[in-house]
């Protein structure tokens, strides 16, 4: 495909097209920069959401474990536990 474009441009202009000389190439460059910036923002957002979810899981598991431990082992001396 690139060979055909080269031949057409070479036949029309008499020389190969320099890279980055037309508006299409400049727009592609700006599009690439924009896509990279959007990807960074998406990555940061996903990372922040994952960190928040991890914190919520840890907090919930801590309280849930404490609740289960408190229900399973009441704070009573062993000598009086089964009396």
State residue 70's pLDDT score. Answer: 60
Q: What is residue 51's predicted lDDT score, i.e. its pLDDT?
A: 85
What's the pLDDT score for residue 36?
94
pLDDT-flagged residues of the chain (< 50): none
Q: How far is CA 57 from the centre of its chain?
A: 20
Helix (H) or strand (E) holding 15: none
Which tokens sit at 19?
Answer: 């890279």
Q: What is the pTM of this model?
A: 0.43
Cα-based distances in Å from 50 to 3, 36, 45, 63, 66: 47, 21, 9, 20, 24
Cβ atoms of 38 and 32 within 8 Å: the answer is: no
Give the pLDDT of residue 68: 66
pLDDT at 74: 57
């Amino acid at each position: 495909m690139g060979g055909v474009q080269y031949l057409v441009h070479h036949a029309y202009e008499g020389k190969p097209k320099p890279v980055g000389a037309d508006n299409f190439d400049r727009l592609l460059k700006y599009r690439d920069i924009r896509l990279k910036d959007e990807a960074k923002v998406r990555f940061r957002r996903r990372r922040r959401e994952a960190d928040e979810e991890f914190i919520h899981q840890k907090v919930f598991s801590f309280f849930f474990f404490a609740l289960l431990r408190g229900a399973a082992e009441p704070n009573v001396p062993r000598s009086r536990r089964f009396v």
